[in-house]
Chains A and B, each alone.
Chain A
């Protein structure tokens, strides 16, 4: 083994990588917020009487869950590009992850809905709430609470998925910054080891803070 590690050189670029980590976090958070909103919408579609809307929701969920996330991001960039819709790498990465998140979360929400008794909706309706109010004030909060843990997992997945931006030439997130530094310095092992540590810390911070948040939110 005559490889000489040059950690200094790699560590010098730590500030740039931390900036990349911020972009990664930003994409993950945005994709989760939008993803949850879309997933709730898909859940509404699934519960609706319209066959078309139910079909849309089912198709979305099955495609999101049965094809690779990499494929979805690729589709968002090059597939839509083929249709004449050209998105920036940032937007197509975000779109791909949102699509994936929404599919998985909608499936989680469906599981959570099964745990909420029908009587609750009926009770809400007989108290005079409209069907929208009953769903928004009674069902959705419980649904989000039951699926809190799966949502945390999905958040971790979203962070890990940002690394796939490399296929659409994304160069401002943590993975993109690292691979660009790598192209300049060729300290592959050192640079990616540092990136791995940053990713590990991010995921640990997310899971720990989710646990703290859950303890605070669900005391009763």
Chain B
């Protein structure tokens, strides 16, 4: 039961897949967060009526399976528009927007958690909107939003397993390829699951710690 046909080369292959998972996650979380902050601030700033189109679009990203978003985006870019684009680009683009949709919600929640009186006070002291945003709202909103943002980043890492559908070979896909060859599903899947777990678990714990530490009660 314990002898395996797994070679060093296969392990390197798996490590490459893991690297791809981390890369896709890092790119998507980076761009997704920037977009999410912009969307969140805009949504808060222009009021519910003017933000309705944006709210709708972001809601669509949260109500359709990521798998279908990926297939649709891939079909749209490659066959409808006729561009030759790598699957990786499509994957990062879709995942960034997906991240942004959730991040906007977190950012909005963070901004709304800052008491309005505090912001009025800062404006009364002569701060500009920009100063108010960067010096008052941002530090306070970050406290509220950071634990959920960590959760979101981990969620994106787990969801990045779905990019196999646009021919990106990440960790789970490379495991699948090895399973097809070595026929040792349980062993290989355990390695794969362990990898996800080892990244996700400590960070999730850290998020939980921050949440407890920073909560006001």
| A binding-site residues for B, Cβ under 8 Å | 1-3, 62-63, 65-71, 74-75, 78-79, 81-83, 156, 160-164, 166-167, 175, 188-189, 192-193, 195-196, 199-200, 203-204
Q: Is the CB of B197 within 8 A of A66?
A: yes
Contacts of B193 in A (CB 8 A): 63, 67, 71, 75
Given A63-B197, A78-B189, A68 and B159 touching (CB < 8 A)?
yes
Contacts of A200 in B (CB 8 A): 60, 63-64
Contacts of B79 in A (CB 8 A): 3, 188-189
Q: Give the dominant DSSP class at A's interface.
A: helix
Beyond known contacts A78-B179, A82-B187, A196-B69: 13 more, CB 8 A cutoff? A1-B82, A66-B200, A70-B172, A71-B161, A74-B189, A79-B189, A82-B184, A83-B186, A160-B66, A163-B67, A164-B67, A167-B176, A192-B72
- Of A82, A175, A189, the contact of B75 (CB 8 Å cutoff): A189
Contacts of B189 in A (CB 8 A): 71, 74-75, 78-79, 82
- Of B71, B184, B197, the contact of A192 (CB 8 Å cutoff): B71
Contacts of B23 in A (CB 8 A): none
* CB closest chain-A residue, reference B70: A192
Contacts of B66 in A (CB 8 A): 160
B196 is an interface residue with CB less than 8 A from chain A? yes
Q: How far is the CA of A192 from the CA of B68 in the complex (A)?
A: 7
Could you tell me the distance in whole angstroms from the C-beta of B84 to the nearest C-beta in chain A? 14
Contacts of B64 in A (CB 8 A): 160, 196, 199-200, 203
Interface code B141-180, partner A: CB below 8 Å = 1, 0 otherwise? 0000000000000100011011001000000100010010
* CB closest chain-A residue, reference B195: A67
Contacts of B197 in A (CB 8 A): 62-63, 66-67
Q: Is the CB of A67 within 8 A of B196?
A: yes
Give me the 4 closest cross-chain CB pairs, A-B, nearest first. Answer: A82-B186, A163-B65, A66-B200, A68-B158
